[in-house]
């Protein structure tokens, strides 16, 4: 069975987000994820959401959070959103903009460790 067509608004928004990435998204993409040995995609639609980065092989989403994510509403929304995404079998890894700016090497190590762990977990379920 074919997948339903993507919502045009989501598709347009994801495309615009790929063209206008935040400074932190751009750094993570061009300095690490773009050449990572396991393929990642930018602004991947996982309806009704757009994931900052997504690795299908590891069923892993990476979200980069700006200051709006640290308000009461932002925390509540992110918790709801993460629960929804995880029900689809996708693990969510979150980093702040400050993590990308100030602890970039650690972020890259954490991503690599998480990808390897997720791939092992998924291989064990086959």
- The domain locations on the chain are 8-121
Rounded CA-CA distance 122/109 in Å is 20
CATH superfamily membership of 8-121: VSR Endonuclease (3.40.960.10)
Token pair listed for 99: 């993590």
Give the global pTM. Answer: 0.84
Strands in 60-65's sheet, in edge-to-edge order, are 41-46, 49-55, 60-65, 91-96
What local confidence, expressed as pLDDT, does residue 20 receive?
A: 78
pLDDT tens digits, 29-79? 999 999 999 999 999 988 788 899 999 999 999 999 875 655 667 778 888
Report whether 3 contacts 43 (CB < 8 A).
Answer: no
Mind giving me the DSSP string for 21-70?
A: --HHHHHHHHHTGGG-SS--EEEEEETTEEEEEEETTTTEEEEEE-GGGG
């Amino acid at each position: 069975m074919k997948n339903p067509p993507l919502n045009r608004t989501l598709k347009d928004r994801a495309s615009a987000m790929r063209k206008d990435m935040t400074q932190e998204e751009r750094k993570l993409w061009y300095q690490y994820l773009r050449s990572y040995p396991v393929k990642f995609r930018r602004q991947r639609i996982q309806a009704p959401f757009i994931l900052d980065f997504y690795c299908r092989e590891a069923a892993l989403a990476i979200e980069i959070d700006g200051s709006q994510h640290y308000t009461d509403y932002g925390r509540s929304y992110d918790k709801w959103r993460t629960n929804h995404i995880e029900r689809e079998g996708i693990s969510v890894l979150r980093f702040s903009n400050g993590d990308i700016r100030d602890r970039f090497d650690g972020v890259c190590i954490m991503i690599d460790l998480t990808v390897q762990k997720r791939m092992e977990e998924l291989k064990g379920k086959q």
